[in-house]
Chains A and B, each alone.
Chain A
Amino acid sequence: MVLAKTINDKISEMFNFEFVPQLFMSLLVMLIVLIFAIIVGTKARHAKVDEKPKGIFFLGILIFQTIDNFTLSIMNKKYRDFTRVMIVFVPYIFICFIISLTGLPSPIVYLATPLSLALVVFFMVHGTAIKENHWGYFKRYVDPFPVFLPINLISMWAPTISLTFRLFGNAMSGFCIMNIVYFGLETLSNALFTGTLVSGAIGVQSIFLAPLVTPFLHLYFDIFSGCIQTLVFSMLTLIYVSQEQSQEDENQVIEEVVSN
């Protein structure tokens, strides 16, 4: 324990970086998603065609079909391989919100997590744009007039910043409000049971009032907010990437080639 603390202190003074608990929570969330994926995958490999799926396998199929239909409703059918990207983001972000129900810190409260998710989306969008347009990608920076170059250079970061702050702001505001409510209710419970206004949690007598009020707040800030933010993040990613892809139908391309 002391060795880990000295290593953490040395690294934080050398590199201006600290091993906060939210980093390890992020690894734990990834481990949960990985174990779930491995179990569903092995069950899928040994499943027979005419058996009904049961249990975890059924849940895996349900999640995959929901994300697949959602992706196909926004994207062109030619790019349906994009489901395999969405099936990584959606469970990760959802479980990141849900895990603060257990009292463990959520990884999204640490700014690096939503920033790295938004940067992955940034590279996907611009990579798709370069792959589709090759050198014509640079036309978007001088689009109406070349005078607009600084404005376009700044506005290319606007989706990244808004995606980051949407996730971070929702998670952080929920975290702050829950902490304040818990602190207040623990102080009140201390006052009721010991008669003194000792602030914070000091023992068994401070846990009696908080569970009467906070489940409803957890319902809004963790579950409802988590569902909506995953929906918004995935839908925005799909819309941004599908705007860079070519909009023509692949059947139409085949017809043109055959008629020529």
Chain B
Amino acid sequence: MELYYIGIGMCMLGTTASAIGEGLICAHAIDNMGRNPEMYGKLRTAMILGCALDETTSIYCLLIAILLLFIH
């Protein structure tokens, strides 16, 4: 049993930061949607854009995990 399996598992722990960040983005967006209901469309677009930008760091973690899994 090789040790790189543990490394793959530890690598994917880095995606929790991205999850917390996206939660904060959506929380602030929904707060302000409740405050100004007429800005719903613009806030939704900005929220999805922000979530996609935040996703990049967790994709870096996933990429390293997949590389370790298949090309050890």
Residues of A within 8 A of B (CB): 162, 165-166, 168-170, 172-173, 176, 228-229, 231-232, 235
Residues of A within 8 A of B56 (CB): 162, 165-166, 169
**CB <8 Å contact, A169 and B59:** yes
Most buried by B among A168, A172, A232: A232
CA of A57 to CA of B5 in the docked complex: distance in angstroms? Answer: 54
Select from chain B the residue with minimum beta-carbon distance to A232. B52
List residues of B (12-71) whose CB comes within 8 Å of A's CBs. Answer: 48-49, 52-53, 55-56, 59-60, 62-63, 66
Residues of A within 8 A of B53 (CB): 232
Residues of A within 8 A of B66 (CB): 172-173, 176
CA of A162 to CA of B54 in the docked complex: distance in angstroms? Answer: 11
Task: For A170, give its contact among B49, B59, B60 (CB under 8 Å).
Answer: B59
**CB <8 Å contact, A166 and B63:** no
**CB <8 Å contact, B52 and A166:** yes
Residues of B within 8 A of A173 (CB): 59, 62, 66
Question: In angstroms, how far is the closest chain A Cβ from the Cβ of B62?
Answer: 6
Question: In angstroms, how far is the closest chain A Cβ from the Cβ of B66?
Answer: 7
List 9 tightest A-B contacts by C-beta distance, closest first.
A169-B59, A232-B52, A166-B56, A228-B52, A169-B63, A162-B56, A173-B62, A165-B59, A232-B49
